[in-house]
Amino acid sequence: MDYKKAAEGAIKAAGGRENISSVAHCATRLRIEVDDKDKINMDLANDLEGAKGAMFNEGQLQIIFGTGTVNKVYDAYESLEKDLPDDFSKIHDKAVANKTKNQKNPLKRAIKTFGDVFVPIIPVLVATGLFMGVRGLLTQEEVLRVFSMTPDDISQNFLMWTQILTDTAFAFLPALVAWSAFKVFGGSPVIGIVLGLMLVHPNLPNAYQVASGDASPIIMFGFIPVVGYQGTVLPAFISGLIGAKLERNLRKVIPDSLDLLLTPFLVLAIMSVLSLFAIGPVFHQLEVVVLEATKWALGLPFGIAGILIGGLQQLIVVTGIHHIFNFLEVQLLADNGRNAFNALLSAATAGQAGAVLAVAIKTKDTKIKQIAYPSALSAVLGITEPAIFGINLRFVKPFVMGMIGGAAGGFFASIFKIEGTGMAVTVIPGMLLYLDNLLMYILMLLIAGGVSFALTYTIGYSDKILKENK
């Protein structure tokens, strides 16, 4: 079978490259998302060499090639894309040609790919972020006191339900990331989600418990520390990238008759070893380094601590290892009953909130607004992942402006020694930790959010960036 010819035929059947929004595949079908359904030639799709049928469903032209074969057709399609601009580029319009040009830039391509992985999971992160923010606010002792209640008055069953509601998405975040990464990089999403679940298997020490000192890593082979990777991002992303590439390469050499049996088996076997015993431990060691560096930075004078931590903390959130700071906050509270790190964390969070709000207000793109406004609300409640992965990091400049705003707010917090009396909540819910110095805390948030908002709105974002990233 000529897989290249099949891919070219699929493109023609879909109405040409200019009518194609995206191409993906599942176990048996090539899924082509089209802009105009009327341009599809269904007869041509059904008559393609190797095709066992075709249909239109959910905005997609779905061509059934069968197990193993569909992977090779998809690979052929991607090879055609890589050959641009040549003869194949003649079917492209000017916008597609510009897209191809931009994708030649490695940095732009990497940023777009990272965004492609995270955009599908943004809705659940936004929803969960809102739940976490509201839960953190309503369970604070100061709020309960208004209703003549204490934390002991809250039903344990109710608390368990709220924990399920708020913790599930972040506890199993590696599974979501690995699923999406496999999908983006041309692997089987179901293999990705299983691999991601392996990273958070209940038999592994919980990452948050290890970070707080309540659990210890499992030492494999006498020197490899193994933990669960709840809430982490990069280990799952890297595992998904490598796993998808491995799967695609295996399908090139494994006979179609054995593909369904051998390919998932080998991918999961190899990637479980690589993820748990190589990729994961590297990031665990990175956690130790980051924690020690943060402790050192907190002791720096003249507001430098605030600039460094307020500016860089959200960059650490991108790696997904920020839960290690729980241990630091517990230590600070145990030592003197005050938590200086929480204020800097709030400044960093407010910086990203200001940046994403600026994008939401300035953009004329409806889809961006639909992501940006809820992400801004989630951020002011203390959860920035939707803002970071959905908007700010996707367009780069808003993220940088958010870091600058965080550094400005952190500098103010360090100079005026703003410290919380607790942990676990930031930004608006975090006000409850600063009732003895509330005005200064609010000023810090306004500085962080205001600086990032102003910079993003003026020089950090325009819809031209959106067009370049499409």
Query: What torsion do the CA atoms of 324, 330, 336, 339 make, to the nearest 10 degrees?
Result: 60
* Residue 98 pLDDT exceeds 50: no
Dist. CA 470–CA 3, nearest whole Å: 28
| Average pLDDT score over residue span 99-110 | 57
What local confidence, expressed as pLDDT, does residue 99 receive? Answer: 45
**Chain center to CA of 403:** 18
Ramachandran class of 256: left when φ > 0, alpha when ψ lies in -120 to 50, beta otherwise: alpha
pLDDT at 35 over 70: yes
Q: What is the pLDDT of residue 58?
A: 65
pLDDT for 454 equals 97
d(CA 207, CA 364): 40
Mean pLDDT over each residue of the chain, to the nearest integer: 84
Query: Is the pLDDT higher at 191 or at 84?
Result: 191
pLDDT above 70 (res 94): no
In percent, how much of the chain has pLDDT > 90?
Answer: 33
Q: Is 399 exposed, middle or buried (0-12, 13-18, 19+ CB in 10 A)?
A: buried
CB 45 within 8 A of CB 88: no
CA distances from 133 to 75, 127, 186, 384, 385 (A): 43, 10, 35, 11, 13
Angle 236-294-133 from CA coordinates, rounded to 5°: 60
For residue 220, pLDDT over 60 is answered with yes
User: Which band of pLDDT confidence, cut at 50, 70 and 90, is reported for residue 466?
Assistant: low
**Residue 107 confidence class, pLDDT cut points 50, 70, 90:** low
User: What's phi and psi for 273, nearest 5 deg?
Assistant: -65, -50
Given a cut of 90, is residue 447 above it in pLDDT?
A: yes
Please tell me the predicted confidence (pLDDT) of residue 108. 65
Question: Tell me: the pLDDT tens digits for 346-385?
Answer: 999 999 999 999 999 999 988 889 889 999 998 998 889 8
User: In terms of pLDDT, which residue wins out, 419 or 84?
Assistant: 419
Taking the C-alpha atoms of residue 83 and residue 85, their distance in angstroms, rounded to an integer, is 6
Answer yes or no: is pLDDT of 91 > 60.
no
Which of the residues are catalytic? 26
pLDDT at 100 over 70: no
Can you say whether the dihedral through the CA atoms of 144, 150, 155, 158 is positive or negative? positive
Residue 464: the pLDDT is: 82
| pLDDT (mean) for 38-46 | 90
DSSP letter, residue 339: B
Query: Which of the two residues, 413 and 334, has the higher pLDDT score?
Result: 413
